[in-house]
Amino acid sequence: MKGVNTNLLHGYPVIDDYTGAASIPKYQVTTFDQKEGYKDCGKYSYSRFGNPTILALEAAVANLHKARFGFAFASGMSAITTVLMLLNCGEHIILPKDVYGGTFQFSSKILKKYGIEVSFINYQNLEELEATIKDNTAMIYIETPSNPLLKVSDIQAIVEIAKKHNIKTAADNTFMTALYQKPLDLGCDIVIESLTKFVNGHSDVTAGCAVTNNEEIANEICLLQKNFGGILGVEDAWLILRGMKTMGLRMEKSVENAKILTKFLETQDKIKKVYYPNLTSCKFYDIHTEQASSGGAVFSFEFFEQDDLKTFLKKIKIPIYAISLGGVESIISHPATMSHACMSEEERLAQGVTQTLLRFSCGVEDSEDLIEDLKQALNN
- Alpha carbon separation from 215 to 65, 219, 221, 224, 358 (Å, rounded): 15, 6, 10, 14, 41
Residues 6+ apart with CB under 8 A from 135: none
Closest by Cα among 175, 158, 169 to 191: 169
Q: How far, in Å, CA of 101 to CA of 318, rounded? A: 27
Which ranges constitute the DSSP H helices of the chain? 4-10, 52-65, 76-84, 101-105, 126-132, 155-164, 177-180, 215-228, 234-244, 247-265, 285-291, 306-315, 345-351, 367-378
Q: How far, in Å, CA of 135 to CA of 347, rounded? A: 28
Which ranges constitute the DSSP H helices of 325-366? 345-351
Q: Identify the bridge partners of residue 169 per DSSP, sorted by sequence position.
A: 140
Catalytic residues, by residue number, are 48, 100, 172, 197
Q: How far, in Å, CA of 73 to CA of 195, rounded? A: 9
Q: How far, in Å, CA of 380 to CA of 368, rounded? A: 20
For the chain, the straight-line distance linking the first and the last C-alpha, in angstroms and rounded, comes to: 51
